[in-house]
């Protein structure tokens, strides 16, 4: 386990709980944080985290069985020395998409394990990320309980819902972000949007009488990153093509997004085309860019969809629009779930294309089977969004340190 070196400069240090494959840690690393410890119970996810963050101690135990004091002592930290405790308790129980949203779901209480680590480490800042459905779950009672618990530990806490395209991520993804500081105003840490993008709020967006959705403000914002901006330089593939594990790029970087994600990369990995069956290939040939299942002749539709209204399920069997935003990347690029057909190639997105749309850098390699890789990508926090949040957290911590020094 990595320990603090006596006499060394104090970096912005962090630990990551419910770490997944490391999207949150990757973004926070990009914003200047040094991760010392991560906890992730799913073996394959923890393997991907370790492969991409080899300097971090990755703990694969159930967090409920981990002694937080023992972890702090092994890291050589005193209480109050750590900069940040970050993480995302499992979100299925909170999600507006969950079949049953019940307070009896044990996953809804795992945030208390997170708070147990906060109590032990007493970091300068706390970051909890989750789905927008957290705001409405139990009519806001769970969110209120989290904020109250942070306040009881001595933190000033606040919450915002952030839209990933406003921070350069090319997909329609929303995340709820809770920030707490021992010293400092959390509202100052939430990042200001840098991009302009089409958006539609279809969830509860108010908490304690205030709108908590971060909105773009100003005329100096740049256009959103499109699907083609994100993946247009990756090598073309035909349906079912695997090719070499390491592939060359199809073109030089065509925009700043590609330049950023190609930094430190020797080529393209995790870029293999899953094989679509003949019936899906037939359906796909009828779908133009930006189109969906309504473009498919009725005789080729699945039986259940033949009875659907034309205004329903508008993302199913969708072909991405190159100039538009991607559907939210989920745990598999199943055409029955969303618009995951490539805009110009007759196949679904590869793992690398999904990772690009999530804003993972190309040097970030996913372990396991292709199914497991899709799951890791889809469950991750977009690193670029995490980096924007991390920069805001650092700014507030630095300003408080400066004011104390003065």
Q: 122 and 85 in contact (C-beta within 8 Å)?
A: no
Residues 6+ apart with CB under 8 A from 148: none
Question: CA 15 to CA 37: how far, in whole Å?
Answer: 5
Give the span between the Cα atoms of 337 and 179, in whole angstroms: 32
User: Is 91 part of the annotated catalytic residue set?
Assistant: yes
Query: Vertex 391, ends 389 and 397: CA angle to 5°?
Result: 105
The catalytic position among 91, 125, 135, 231 is 91
Question: 178 forms bridges with which residues in the sheet?
Answer: 128, 159
Instruction: Report whether 210 contacts 161 (CB < 8 A).
Output: no
* Number of residues written out for the chain: 406
Q: In 61-110, where does DSSP find H-type helix?
A: 68-75
Where would I find the H helices in 76-110? none
Residue keyed to tokens 């939430």: 190
- Residues 152 and 155: their CA atoms lie apart, in Å, by 7
Helix (H, G, I), strand (E, B) or coil at 100: coil
Q: Which residues are catalytic?
A: 91
């Amino acid at each position: 386990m990595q320990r603090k070196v006596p006499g060394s400069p104090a970096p912005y240090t962090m630990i990551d709980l419910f770490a997944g494959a490391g999207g949150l840690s990757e973004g926070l690393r990009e914003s200047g944080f040094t991760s010392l410890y991560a906890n992730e119970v799913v073996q394959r996810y923890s393997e991907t985290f370790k492969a991409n963050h080899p300097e971090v101690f990755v703990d694969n135990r159930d967090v409920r069985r981990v002694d937080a004091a023992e972890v702090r002592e092994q890291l050589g930290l005193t209480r109050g020395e750590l900069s940040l405790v970050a993480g995302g308790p499992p979100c299925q129980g909170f999600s507006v998409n969950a079949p049953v949203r019940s307070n009896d779901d044990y996953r809804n209480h795992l945030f208390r394990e997170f708070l147990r680590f906060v109590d032990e480490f007493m970091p300068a800042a706390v970051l909890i990320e989750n789905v927008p459905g957290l705001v409405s779950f139990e009519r806001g009672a769970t969110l209120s309980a989290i904020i109250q618990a942070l306040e009881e530990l001595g933190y000033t806490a606040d919450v915002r819902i952030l839209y990933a395209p406003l921070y350069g991520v090319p997909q329609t993804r929303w995340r709820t972000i809770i920030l707490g500081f021992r010293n400092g105003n959390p509202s100052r840490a939430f990042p200001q949007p840098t991009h302009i993008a089409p958006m539609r709020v279809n969830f509860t967006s108010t908490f304690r009488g205030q709108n908590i959705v971060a909105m773009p403000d100003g005329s100096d914002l740049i256009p959103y990153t499109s699907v083609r901006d994100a993946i247009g330089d990756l090598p073309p593939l035909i349906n079912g093509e695997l090719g070499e594990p390491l592939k060359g790029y199809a073109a030089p970087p065509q925009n700043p997004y590609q330049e950023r994600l190609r930094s430190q990369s020797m080529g393209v990995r995790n870029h293999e085309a899953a094989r679509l069956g003949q019936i899906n290939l037939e359906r796909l040939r009828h779908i133009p860019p930006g189109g969906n299942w309504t473009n498919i002749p009725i005789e080729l539709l699945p039986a259940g969809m033949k009875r659907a209204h034309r205004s329903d399920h508008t993302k199913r069997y969708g072909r991405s629009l190159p100039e538009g935003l991607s559907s939210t990347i989920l745990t598999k690029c199943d055409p029955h779930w969303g618009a995951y057909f490539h805009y110009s190639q007759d196949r679904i997105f590869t793992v690398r294309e999904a990772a690009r749309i999530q804003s993972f850098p190309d040097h970030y390699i996913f372990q396991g089977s292709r199914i497991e890789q899709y799951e890791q990508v889809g469950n991750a926090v977009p690193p670029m969004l995490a980096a924007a949040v991390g920069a805001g957290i650092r700014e507030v911590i630095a300003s408080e340190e400066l004011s104390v020094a003065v």
